[in-house]
Structure 1
Amino acid sequence: MTTNADEPGTRPRRRTPAGAAVLREDVTEAIRGAVFEELASVGYARMSIEGIARRAGVGKTAVYRRWRSKLHLVLDVVSAVAVMGLPTPDTGSLEGDLRLLYEVTSRALRHPVASQIIPDLQAEAARNPEIAEAMQKALRDGQEGVASSILSAAERRGEIRSGVDRELALDLISGPLYWRSVVIRTPKLPKGYLTSLTRATTEALRAL
């Protein structure tokens, strides 16, 4: 017995339109990976669709099927970093949560690829509002979401007072490590730096 797709109560099967290109996810991921490598190698200004395609082992057409320009490709990749975010620590104490956050963030910011890409994109962000917005999401919004969760947990445990100035607290948490790793780009953090930073930040938050 056959079913007529036009009969009431039946759901017609969806078909891929004739001639429509099916975008392979493995190719998309190869292109995204190539973007990070190309940014680290030549920077945004010298980066080209041709170079990305060559590094990804695909044709230029494969890139243009997914993104219409270099700018949109970079914006998509940088925005994806923000979506991934950082894991929220749950050690049971403010000091423990901060230490774990600093360890994870330090490794991420000091990764060889990230340490080359971030300063370059920051320079471009000064000239391009779209890149500036994407960079803010990638570098600040994700960090703030995690830091806010840490502060909320500390408030519930009574480790910091309720109603602290969240903006100031977030600056205290995120500022020093970002300054060291991204702005002045210290080649290597001093021994015991993360431990000292954790203790100092914990005490500062308790004093707010």
Structure 2
Amino acid sequence: MSTSPTPQTPAPERRLPGGPVLQDSVTEAISAAFFEELASVGYARLSLEAVAKRAGAGKAAIYRRWPSKLEMTVALVSAVAVDAPEVADSGTLRGDVLAFLTEIAGALRHRLPSKIIPDLLAEGTRNPELAQALFAAVRDTRRAKATRLLDRAVERGELPADVDRELALDFLAGALYWRLAVVHTPTGPDYLDRLADKLLAAFAA
């Protein structure tokens, strides 16, 4: 998921076949309300009626855009993942890793993603349809962007061409997610620097 807590829905006003114009301002209000409601009650208790009320819109306005709670969740969460910026090219593997960790830490510390991400991961264990849709749209997108970080390091000669990318990707996010989202342990000012050094040592092993 992106660090952006209030994702934008960059869709211009559009008309459904034979239907009314879907106003961009209404779509954005519903999107913002969705994330606030999801963070507040979780996916299992999320209702489209509550999202509509929070957005100041009618329930019909939601159904004109998304036919179900599942499709709404996948569409909006996926949009955030796709819109997330590429990992900055600092010129060095360490700089890229540190930038990646900084972005992830920012998301996990924000009041919305810090609640939404663990909830959706837990819900995915109970809802295979949700898990499959989110994994394809979010996990694969994010891992593809992180893979380019490793590819750049290979091109620079900082990593061997046969580096285990799958394991490296698990290392990149795993420790930080465990610390901030699972055990909720505060980090010191040098934590990300120390973690980056450990990750580089692991990649080189």
TM score, norm. by length of structure 2: 0.85
- For the pair shown, the structure with the greater C-alpha radius of gyration is 1
Alignment: residue pair count: 191
2:43 — aligned with what? 44
Taking the aligned partners of 2:137 and 2:172, their CA distance within structure 1 comes to 17
Taking the aligned partners of 2:16 and 2:155, their CA distance within structure 1 comes to 54
Once the two structures are TM-superposed, the CA of residue 135 in structure 1 deviates from its matched residue by 3.5
Contact conserved, 1:79 with 1:134, CA < 8 A, in 2?
no
> Relative contact order, CA 8 A, sep 6+: which one is greater?
2
Structure 2: runs of 5+ lacking an equivalent: 1-14
Taking the aligned partners of 2:93 and 2:40, their CA distance within structure 1 comes to 39
Q: Which amino acid aligns with 1:64?
A: Y
What are the equivalent positions in structure 2 for 1:55-74 lying under 5 Å apart? 55-74=54-73
| Pair 96,18 (structure 1): closer, same or farther in 2 beyond 3 Å | closer
Once the two structures are TM-superposed, the CA of residue 183 in structure 1 deviates from its matched residue by 2.6
What are the equivalent positions in structure 2 for 1:148-187 lying under 5 Å apart? 148-186=147-185
1:206 — aligned with what? 204
Give the 4+ runs in structure 1 shifted more than 3 A: 16-19
Once the two structures are TM-superposed, the CA of residue 125 in structure 1 deviates from its matched residue by 0.9
1:8-62 residue CA offsets vs partner (Å, 9 max, x unmatched): xxxxxxxx79962111111111111111000111222222111111111111111
| Pair 128,56 (structure 1): closer, same or farther in 2 beyond 3 Å | same
1:92-130 residue CA offsets vs partner (Å, 9 max, x unmatched): 100011111111111012210111111222221111112
What are the equivalent positions in structure 2 for 1:1-208 lying under 5 Å apart? 20-137=19-136, 140-186=139-185, 188-207=186-205
TM score, norm. by length of structure 1: 0.84
Taking the aligned partners of 1:178 and 1:142, their CA distance within structure 2 comes to 18
Contact conserved, 2:42 with 2:119, CA < 8 A, in 1?
yes
Percent identity, please. 49
